[in-house]
Structure 1
Amino acid sequence: VIRARLDILSCPDDCLCERYRFSAQSIIYLDNILRPYITHVTHRGHALSSLHIICIALRFFANGSFLYNIGDAEHVSKATVCRAVRNVTVALKRLLYSFVVFPGHRPTRFIKEGFHKIAGFPGVIGCIDGTHIPIIAPSVNEGDYVNRKSFHSINVQ
Structure 2
Amino acid sequence: MCCDANFCITSCNASWPGSVHDSRIFRTSALCRQFENGQYKGFLLGDSGYPCRWFLLTPLLNPTNRAEERYNGSLCRTRVLIEQTFGVLKRRFQCLHNELRATPRQAVTYVVACVVLHNLGIERGDIINHDENLMPPSSNVNNYVPPVTGPNDGADVRRHIIQTFFSR
Q: TM-score, normalised by structure 1?
A: 0.21
Higher relative contact order (Cα pairs below 8 Å, separated by 6+ residues):
2
Answer 1 or 2: which has greater helix percent.
Answer: 1
